[in-house]
Amino acid sequence: MKKLWKMTALCAALTLAGAAGAETITLNGKNLTMENAWAIASGKADVAIAPEAMNLLEKSHELVMAAAAKGQAVYGLTVGVGLNKDHKLFTADGKLTPEVVAASRAFNYNALRSHSAGVGEMMPENLARLSMVIRLNTLLDGKSGAQARVATLYKDFLNKGITPLIPSEGSIGEADILLASHVGAVMIGEWKASMKGKVVTGAEALKAAGIEPLVPEGKDALAILSNNSVAMAYAVDAARSAQRICDVTPTIYGLSLEGLNGNVAPILPQTIGARPFPGLADAAKDMRDAIQGSYLWSTDASRPLQDPLSYRVTVYGLAEAKRAVKDLEEVIEVQINSTDDNPATILNADEAYRNESSQVANYFIEGKGVKGAIIPSGNFNPLPVALAVQRASLALAHLSHYSVQRTVHLSYDQFTGLTRFLSDPDNKGHAFGAIQKAFMGLHVDNMALAQPVSLYGMPVAGEIEDTMTNILQASKHLLTIDENLFQIYSLETLHAAQAVDLRRMLKNKDLKLSTKTDAFYQAYRAKVPYVKNDRIFTDDIKAGTDLIKNYKF
């Protein structure tokens, strides 16, 4: 589950740089982990580019310019993009004349400007930076054909704190062309960027950092704008939070089960062994470990034979959530370490079908000291990640459902044998009678957000772009589900801790929690005290949410 979060020798290299000993993560287009990407995006590490990756990018650009010199029909290079793929941009006749270069540069400038048309709020700065980390690494895969300077600019923007303002909406999930283009707009000295906490023009940002504006040519504009880096930034963030949800669930569940005086039977190895679904035994073990040493393992004559379903089947929800998040992490790893460029510029390309097909032969190019192929593709389609994101959303929505139902049951005396709404015996007020609306409202949101969105949409761009994945929307949905679940778990913890205190007060003053749940209970009570009388709960809910996000479970 956590393999993507482990630092290994195969991951991007870590070295020490600067007097302060700051980490530098070296990217090569092949081994970027989500952990390292986040370290760069959050400013905890600088970024460097592996020399071999830069050399690959330079050769890729040489191949592109060889195609341009020959006037070979190449999407986004010698002909237009989208429906305008039938518009010839220039005639080279075998030479890169000043007129040809000028025409290429004019097309690139126009492409960056015309595609900068996003809507909505600007991306959070850390996610905008994360999108640049991801695009830099996929550029270094060497199949974009962009100038090497484009990669250098991504690196400089990250290391010197230049963060282009990138709108957060306006993508259908077949490359974030209207959003990622804003990075290129700043590279050419236009648009706006955040720098040292202030919004400045692109020109001002470049000048302050001592950077000359990019003069885009060849496939530069297409490489900058036609990728899924924006959606992937949200997907990575959502996957990180979803993994956190999976990590905290056993302890939250354990404390809730102790508050209920529930049964361990549904998570016993004997029970789980009868249903050998993938990951189920591991999830059950995590849940047993969370209640190791608890009073729940001792017989209690007042304990019901069976608990409500939401307690009995949470193990299935956790197993499926862990499996869904693992699958998501695996496809993200592929996505952020491979090209989504169209066309793909492939050095020394495999020559399969070249000799048998004149059509395939048209894609191959040979220039001075370089050869390969520039091949149209559908590699901009991130469907594997989009589907994995949506499956994770659905799995976490089930965890949401189980949590709200468990919390409802903790409120009712017929299930707990405690006071109604977990009221202190001397409290004549409402206790937790009204608070159920909060977690139920969040869960209703999660139910809606878990609905698939990848099939919605209509043909655009002259109907040539007739399909979509909506991965940006799907990733945002998962991220919101994560945030809602942290709050739902906070509300469950509020109830579970109160139930434990009341059980000690009314049933068993020596009631023993497990090692893990007791440590979490103590940390929670340091932030949120026992509810003796009615009070404003809003700050308590937030305190619990913050604790769950940051506590070392």
Q: Do residues 60 and 143 make contact, with C-beta atoms less than 8 angstroms apart?
A: yes
CATH of the domain at 527: 1.20.200.10
Domain interval for residue 107:
3-222
Asked whether residue 393 falls in the same domain as residue 305, the answer is yes
Cα–Cα distance, 345 to 281 (Å, whole number): 46
Checking DSSP bridges between strand 344-347 and strand 370-375, what pairing results, if any?
antiparallel
Cα R_g (the chain), whole angstroms: 28
Cross-strand partners of 48? 26
Average pLDDT along the chain: 93
Q: Do residues 446 and 481 make contact, with C-beta atoms less than 8 angstroms apart?
A: yes
Asked whether residue 18 falls in the same domain as residue 159, the answer is yes
Asked whether residue 265 falls in the same domain as residue 414, the answer is yes
pLDDT digits (tens, 9 = 90+) for 246-287: 999 999 999 999 999 999 999 999 999 999 999 999 999 999
pLDDT digits (tens, 9 = 90+) for 155-178: 999 999 999 999 999 999 999 999
Q: Is residue 391 part of a domain?
A: yes
Boundary of a domain, candidates 222, 249, 269: 222
Asked whether residue 207 falls in the same domain as residue 87, the answer is yes
Asked whether residue 252 falls in the same domain as residue 206, the answer is no
Q: Is residue 511 part of a domain?
A: yes
Cross-strand partners of 346? 373
Q: Which of 20-29, 111-120, 293-302, 508-517 has the lowest mean pLDDT?
A: 20-29
Q: What is the pLDDT of residue 89?
A: 60
Asked whether residue 73 falls in the same domain as residue 192, the answer is yes
Cα–Cα distance, 485 to 503 (Å, whole number): 26
Q: How many CB atoms lie under 10 A from the CB of residue 539?
A: 11
Q: How many CB atoms lie under 10 A from the CB of residue 286?
A: 21
Q: Is residue 123 part of a domain?
A: yes
Boundary of a domain, candidates 199, 222, 245: 222
Asked whether residue 298 falls in the same domain as residue 214, the answer is no
Asked whether residue 255 falls in the same domain as residue 212, the answer is no
Residue 409 — pLDDT band, cuts 50, 70, 90? very high
Asked whether residue 480 falls in the same domain as residue 538, the answer is yes
Q: What is the pLDDT of residue 3?
A: 44
Checking DSSP bridges between strand 22-27 and strand 45-49, what pairing results, if any?
parallel
Task: Look at the chain and report how many structural domains it folds into.
Answer: 2
**Helix residue ranges per DSSP H, 412-461:** 413-416, 436-449
Q: Is residue 164 part of a domain?
A: yes
Alpha carbon 286 to its chain centroid, in Å, reads 24
Residue 123 burial class via C-beta count within 10 angstroms: exposed 0-12, middle 13-18, buried 19 and up: buried
Percentage above 90 pLDDT, the chain:
86
- 81 pLDDT above the threshold of 80: no
CATH of the domain at 153: 1.10.275.10
CA nearest to 411, candidates 260, 230, 223, 228: 260
Looking up tokens 């409500």, which residue turns up?
Answer: 308
Q: Which of 87-101, 300-314, 419-433, 485-499 has the lowest mean pLDDT?
A: 87-101
Q: What is the pLDDT of residue 464?
A: 82
b/e 165-186 (16+ beta carbons within 10 angstroms → b): bbbbebbbbbbbbbbbbbbbbb
Looking up tokens 């081994």, which residue turns up?
Answer: 31
Which residues, including other chains, have CB under 8 Å from residue 258's CB and lie 6 or more apart? 291, 294, 295, 296, 496, 499, 500, 511, 513, 514, 517
Asked whether residue 207 falls in the same domain as residue 250, the answer is no
How many CA atoms are closer than 13 Å to the CA of 393, on its beta-carbon side?
28
Q: Is residue 453 part of a domain?
A: no
pLDDT digits (tens, 9 = 90+) for 93-140: 667 788 888 888 999 999 999 999 999 999 999 999 999 999 999 999
Query: Quick check: bond before 164 cis, omega within 30?
Result: no
**Cα distances (Å, whole numbers) of residue 40 to 156, 159, 176, 394, 407:** 12, 9, 21, 30, 39
Percentage above 70 pLDDT, the chain:
92
- 18 pLDDT above the threshold of 60: no
For the record, the structure tokens of 418 come out as: 């405690």
Cα–Cα distance, 548 to 4 (Å, whole number): 22
Q: Is residue 362 part of a domain?
A: no
Q: Do residues 339 and 144 make contact, with C-beta atoms less than 8 angstroms apart?
A: yes
Average pLDDT over residues 14-33: 73
Average pLDDT over residues 356-374: 94
pLDDT digits (tens, 9 = 90+) for 435-484: 999 999 999 999 999 999 999 999 898 888 889 999 999 999 999 999 99
- 149 pLDDT above the threshold of 50: yes
Asked whether residue 477 falls in the same domain as residue 430, the answer is yes
Q: Is residue 285 part of a domain?
A: yes
- Count of residues making up the chain: 553
Checking DSSP bridges between strand 167-169 and strand 119-122, what pairing results, if any?
antiparallel
Q: What is the pLDDT of residue 9?
A: 34
End-to-end CA separation in angstroms for the chain: 16
Residue 40 — pLDDT band, cuts 50, 70, 90? very high
Q: Is residue 359 part of a domain?
A: no
Cα–Cα distance, 325 to 286 (Å, whole number): 16
Boundary of a domain, candidates 222, 252, 277: 222
Residue 76 — pLDDT band, cuts 50, 70, 90? low
Asked whether residue 83 falls in the same domain as residue 218, the answer is yes
Average pLDDT over residues 390-396: 99
Q: What is the pLDDT of residue 13?
A: 41
